[in-house]
Structure 1
Amino acid sequence: MRIMKVTMLNHPHSIQKEELPPMAMALGFFDGVHAGHQRVIETAKNIANERNWKSAVMTFDPHPSVVLGKKHEKIRYITPLDEKIRMIEQLGIDHLFVIRFTSDFARLEPQQFIDQYIIGLNVQHVVAGYDFTYGRCGNGTMDTLPEHSRGLFTITKVDKLAYDGEKVSSTKIRCLLTEGQIEEANRLLGRPYRITGTVVHGDQRGRKIGFPTANVECDDDYYLPKTGVYAVRMKVKDKWVNGVCNIGYRPTFKHPDERFMSIEVHLFEFDHSIYGEEVTVEWYKHIRQERKFNGVQELVAQIEKDKQSAIKYFQNEAE
């Protein structure tokens, strides 16, 4: 896999056009890097390859609503920035530009944005979704882009991607995650939903009852699925291992003051110490909701059922 160059830009940037190669660039926020986003990015990549340019993506951080004050609660992402960078690199892009979205940047008029961040970065072709907006108050649209281009770059507008008549969108995927509909979310993502985190020490309760778990601590910017039990795969040291995951508040053992969500993964046929390791968890099927049991024996019996459900799921997938 090619190594993607990542450039973090603060406004105003100081890059000179002559410093950069000709590029075909995909523009968007791309939270989730879902199937629709992948179509936009792949289009830019294909055009770059056809014309012997470099392929590029431009995205923004944080979400504009954080700066523009449209939302007061904490913003969580299907793909926080580090995860988004990993996903875009896997698509084989040459250069990623991450623009720090600030109040000053938000005040740029549409023409100023195009002059400084498209023409000024030697972009020869722009690819974006039909609903992409740019400039102050989002006044720039795909309809105004030809005028703002000053004839210095060409444009491809990508129509919406829909499944069963419904637009593939980050908003829809977040709703599906909230409802625990992980298989449908994965269909719209065009890949399994995933998180990346670090294995940390837990209270060893799983090991004591015969089901050792890896406690995964992830960035609190992740938009996590509904609490419950899921069939998952976890990547440990470049190897994927099947398992079953409980995400939630562990009601059977819950301390009254425990308010933090835990992600505990029991891996099948795996018995290695992986504390401190960075791992990736991919989520495949919602098995059941989280619930409180009347005792440890009842919990152990249910975990065994969950494990068998996950094993059966992966066996069916392999056939």
Structure 2
Amino acid sequence: MRADRLVSLVLLLRQRGRMTADALADELEVSTRTVLRDIEALSSAGVPVYAERGRHGGFALLPGFRTELTGLNHDEALALLTAGSGPGEQVFGLSSALASAMRKVVDALPEGHRASVGDAAQRFLIEPETDLLSRRLVTEDVPGMVMSEVRRAVLAGHKLRFHYAAPDKTPHWHTVDPIGLVTVRDRAYLLAAKSGEDRTYRLSRMLAAEELLEPAQRPDQVDLDRIWRERSARFLSENHIPVLVRVKPARREELLNTARAVRAEEPEADGWLRLEVTFEDLRHAVWALWQLGTDAEALAPESLRAALHDRAAAIATCYEESSPE
């Protein structure tokens, strides 16, 4: 790990020029004392790093100390930097590793490519923290130690033991055969098997985790995309209420923000949209569609239409009565 840190330190000085020990420590997530020891080690190894004293001093490399890699063209380097600029790197606990990798990519580019790629990458923004309606994207927090243990077990092919807090249940321990990790809208899931049965766990609900030495019982090759589609379809068919609804296009996003999933969508001749969505239960469906007023109409199931009718009738009756004195 120290070797990686030394490389990152050199790359930071190459790309940013003179930096203080405090700035390097913040970037590398270590103490200032560690940075000073690393600087001394680099100097002893022949890396031309020197200190500049004074108010605006710091550490720097002698000009021209760099290597260049010409294997990446402009668009290939831009693709890597753009992919690394999104929030997804936070999900699996790899943000520091990705930042280090991006520094190496940029540093290895020829001088001409480096400048143009850096400018181009500033023109792309991937998944900002808020949308145009100022709604913040919520990234679920996964403890670093939990993420590290889960990731190691998945990659090593070992069994995983973890303490899991399912909704409305007492937390208890599980031992599973991990298959892979999936992230959807900044939520991370573990796909696993338990006693031969398919299981899906949300990482943010894991309170503790431990990689075991016992090999996991799982196939050598895996198609995570296919497995995720199958499990998603199964999830939507269990313990959820399907709803057929008409909605004005202007209110579509509000409907989707309250629904659990969308199974189908098609336009109607009058300009409205017909969607098949799922909600957790009848109460959830009534609440969601009530927010849309007359801009949406539930077509099925009949129990939902009846519940909305009864609620509207109760409200109408309330306001038909004479005003209180």
TM-score range, shorter chain: under 0.3
Q: Higher Cα Rg: structure 1 or 2?
A: 2
Pick 1 or 2: higher relative contact order, CA cutoff 8 A, min separation 6.
1
Higher strand share: 1
